[in-house]
Amino acid sequence: MRKLVLSCFAAGLFISSGYAQTLFTFGNNPVSKEEFLRVYQKNSINKKPDYSEAALREYLDLYSLFRMKVKEAELQHLDTLSSIETELNNYRKQLARNYLTDEQLSNKLLEEAYGRMKEEVKVAHIMIMSSMTATSADTVAPYRKIDSIATAIKKGADFAQLAKQFSEDRGSRDKGGEVGYITALQTVYPFENAAYSTPVGKVSPIIRTQFGYHIVKVLDRRPALGEVKVAQILVTVSKSKGQEGLAAARKKVDSIQAELKQGVPFDQLVKKYSDDKYSINDNGVLPAFAVGKLSPEFEKAAFALKKPGDVSAPVQTDYGFHIIKLIEKRALKPLDSMRTTLKRKVDNDSRSLTAREMFFEKMKQKNGFKEYPENLDPLLKRVATIPDTGAKANVFSADEYLQMNKPLFALGGVEYKQSDLMKYAENMTRGRLMGPKSAVLKDIYGNYIKTIVTDKEEHRLVEEHTEFKNLMTEYRDGIMLFELMDRNVWGKATRDTSGLKAFYASRKDKYTWEPGFTGSVYRFKNEDALKEGKKLMADKKLKDEDILKKMNLDNNPDAVTIQRGHYEFSKFTQVPRAAIIAGKATEPKKMDDGTYQVVRVDEVFDQPTPKSLDDARGYVVAEYQDYLEKQWNDEIRKKYSVKVNEKEFQSLVK
């Protein structure tokens, strides 16, 4: 109940009450009727508030206590703790992502994606790998290579042959670069743009993605086929056996097809023959898929099936041979029915960077961003002199740049200097610039600008955007209150050992064992282990740990497991009560998993016996926490007297 109440209040929305009717005060702190009503309605079960006087008074009592605790946290300045500041900053950045974007452009990107999903494009490509993080010098050779290929294509060279000869995409190279049909949101955005903007039979200009440089050729276009759901029987090919393995797989799949023609149910043959461990337990059924998800050969055969229940001839792919059964076909859904799902995909797709970048540029302009590129050059030249070898290889300190105070850029009337960038760079890199120093610092400079601009906009959101401010306030109150509860209740109950012992001593008669026994429960791996264990158990001098050492050897590490403890008859039902005798072991019992259980009994207690603090620690700590919380609540309520404006309160009652 405590955690439920805490989470409910922490999720509430708090609004300024300076202008509103005060519902109650705690100490000198007013709480408005509007605030209380908003929180009450938001946290009502099933969103159906109970406006009876009893329910409202109960909630007011709990809510006033919550506000008192938040006030205490503020008085203790818990929001200045580094751990809480870090958590708040992380939450603010995460929350701000939903606000710091161009909503109009995001909607256009969503509609563009849906429009493209109505059409499927068959493409081939040639790729030359080049990392997006490579230096300018390292991108020259890959670009020259792709440029020479593009020139050859313009002069009439065969695209497929060039792909086989030069493409570095292993998945499509041997197929002449052919990828198959794709649709929106299946490839990175620049590649998708090239596919959808290039006419059939034509080749795109050179494009760059995170994987490298590409030339895209469009082979065909067609209306979207939607999604298809199928089941399959997969016969894998043993590649290590070469042609012999291929022939064996082909023979097996032909025999399966023969059984299908004889009327043997598809599901039955899946369980008997399929090598697909992921679908065999679902009768071979695969999740519904659109084009571009699976191998082109598989997709072509699946989409060619006409009616549910139709079965394909064997289809060969890189995985082996497939026999495919159609379950259903699904057309593309209307935009409104998939808008939420599509928006999430667009937001997580590389195209969302476009919206964020455009919004970032707007934020810069709005805040009067001005750059001084001439002052960056001296920094780039200086860091280029940092040695690559020796005792101080790649090492720098921001203190070495404190005298460099020319501005790099200005934002909102504030100048950010060379030395500021080097402090940021030191925090980012821990004082080590690895690789080409000037290029790395230039990237860090770009990140520094984004950080400053974004931070300014995030803080503006807190000041100007009511919903954002409310969400930040509730999160702040929640984590502060958690820290306060830990200090006064949860953590204190475990740290205060003397207080816990005194609490236990004052009510130890409450913590008792029901009638039961003490002893050890042995689990022997098999019958051989049982025989060996019984011989060792016959030696009364051997303790549990001695038996473990003798039996669990390197060649048989799990021959026996032993669990020692105090067991209550009401909960230990594997062995009849009459069989539990002090000083004796029970007869072996074979368990469902093939192991054998033997209980070695030490003492039997026919009457309830007291639990030690260690035995009852979980129960004692929980009750001690409740005790501490009640005491703390009483202290806070004495400190802050609550006065209710009865007239305003009665106006809430229905």
Query: What is the DSSP track for 534-588?
Result: HHHHT-TT--HHHHHHHHSBTTBTTSEEEEEEEEETTT--SS-GGG--TT-BPPP
Query: What is the model's pTM?
Result: 0.53
Q: What is the pLDDT of residue 559?
A: 94
Could you tell me how far CA 173 lies from the centroid of its own chain? 34
Q: Is residue 132 predicted with pLDDT exceeding 70?
A: no
Exposed, middle or buried: residue 477 (CB in 10 Å: 0-12, 13-18, 19+)? buried
CB atoms closer than 10 angstroms to residue 184: 27
CA angle 550, 551, 553 (to 5 degrees): 90
292-313 pLDDT tens trace: 888 889 999 999 999 999 999 9
Walk across the sheet containing 315-317 and list its strands.
227-236, 320-330, 315-317
Structure tokens belonging to residue 320: 């082996």
Q: Which of 622, 36, 105 is nearest to 362 (CA)?
A: 105
Query: What would the two tokens of residue 237 be?
Result: 């090919």
Taking the CA atoms of residue 178, residue 184, residue 187 and residue 191 in that order, the dihedral angle to the nearest 10 degrees is 70
Tokens 């497929």 correspond to what residue? 160
Task: Walk across the sheet containing 414-417 and list its strands.
Answer: 370-371, 407-411, 414-417
Q: Would you call 607 helix, strand, or coil by DSSP?
A: coil
Query: According to the model, what pLDDT value does residue 504 have?
Result: 93
The domain defined by 119-223 carries CATH number 1.10.10.10 = no
Q: At what angle do helices 53-75 and 33-42 cross, to 10 degrees?
A: 110
Q: Residue 135: is its pLDDT beyond 60?
A: no
- For residue 133, pLDDT over 80 is answered with no
Of the ranges 171-175, 409-413, 468-472, 534-538, which one carries the lowest mean pLDDT score?
A: 468-472
pLDDT average, residue stretch 451-460: 86
What mean pLDDT do residues 229-254 have?
Answer: 90
Please name the residues in contact with 465: beta carbons below 8 A apart, sequence gap of 6 or more: 99
93 vs 590, more confident: 590
Q: How far apart are CA 101 and CA 472, in angstroms?
A: 19
Question: Mean pLDDT across the stretch 433-450?
Answer: 88
Residue corresponding to tokens 């298809």:
228
Distance CA 314, CA 319 (A): 13
**Which pLDDT score is estimated for 20?**
60
Bridge-based pairing state of the strands 596-605 and 589-590: antiparallel
pLDDT value at 6 more than 60: no
How many Å apart are CA 640 and CA 74, to the nearest integer?
14
Residue 489 is classified by DSSP as I
For the segment 173-199, the average pLDDT, to the nearest whole number, is: 93
pLDDT at 176: 95
> What is the spatial distance between Cα 539 and Cα 391, in angstroms, rounded to a whole number?
65
Residues 6+ apart with CB under 8 A from 321: 234, 235, 237, 249, 250, 252, 253, 314, 315
Written as one string, the DSSP assignment of 394-449 is TB--GGGGTT---EEEEETTEEEEHHHHHHHHHHHHTTB--SSHHHHHHHHHHHHH
Q: Which of 39-53, 232-246, 380-394 has the lowest mean pLDDT?
A: 39-53
| Cβ partners under 8 Å of residue 74, min gap 6 | 480
- What mean pLDDT do residues 563-568 have? 95
**To the nearest whole number, what is the mean pLDDT of the chain?**
89
- What pLDDT shows up at residue 15? 34
Q: What is the CATH number of domain 227-330?
A: 3.10.50.40
What is the residue type of 189? Answer: Y
- Residue found under tokens 């699976």: 294
Q: What is the DSSP letter of 526?
A: S
Q: Would you say residue 10 has pLDDT above 80?
A: no
Q: Per-residue pLDDT for 100 more than 90?
A: no
The pLDDT value given to residue 52: 93
Q: Is the pLDDT of residue 97 over 80?
A: no
- How many whole angstroms separate alpha carbon 233 and alpha carbon 324? 7
Q: Which residues are within 8 A (CB) of 64 and not within 5 positions of it... i.e. 6 or more apart? A: 24, 26, 31, 642
Residue 345, pLDDT score: 87
Between helix 376-383 and helix 437-464 the angle, nearest 10°, is 130
Local confidence band at 18 (pLDDT 50, 70, 90 cut-offs): very low
In the chain, the N- to C-terminal Cα span, in Å, equals 26
**pLDDT reported for residue 208:** 92
Q: Give 457 or 371, the one with higher predicted confidence.
A: 371
Summarize pLDDT for 277-288 with one digit per residue, the tens. 999 999 999 999
| pLDDT at 9 > cutoff 70 | no
pLDDT tens track for 572-628? 988 999 999 999 999 999 998 899 999 999 999 999 999 999 999 999 999 999 999
Helices (H) and strands (E) in the chain, counts: 24, 19
Q: What percent of the chain has pLDDT over 90?
A: 63
Tell me the three state secondary structure of residue 156. coil
Kindly report the three-state secondary structure assignment for every residue of 221-280. Answer: EEECCCEEEEEEEEEECCHHHHHHHHHHHHHHHHHHHHHHHCCCCHHHHHHHHCCCCCCH
Strand order in the sheet with 178-182: 178-182, 119-129, 212-223, 207-209
List the beta bridge partners of residue 432. Answer: 395
Residue-level pLDDT at 16 = 37
- Mean pLDDT, range 19-34, rounded to an integer: 88
Under the banding of pLDDT at 50, 70 and 90, the label for residue 426 is: very high
Q: Find out whether 136 and 146 touch, Cβ atoms under 8 Å.
A: no
Q: Is 480 exposed, middle or buried (0-12, 13-18, 19+ CB in 10 A)?
A: buried
572 vs 566: CA distance, rounded Å? 10
Calpha distance 340→221 (Å, rounded): 27
- Give the lowest-confidence range in 210-214, 266-270, 318-322, 463-467: 463-467
71: pLDDT strictly greater than 70 = yes
Q: By the 8 A CB rule, do 22 and 42 touch? A: no
Per-residue tokens: 114: 């849906």
Q: What are the DSSP calls for 314-332, one per residue?
A: PEEETTEEEEEEEEEEEPP
Q: How high is the pLDDT of residue 160? A: 96
CA 208, 222, 185, 228 dihedral sign is negative
Would strands 320-330 and 227-236 be described as parallel, antiparallel, or unpaired? antiparallel
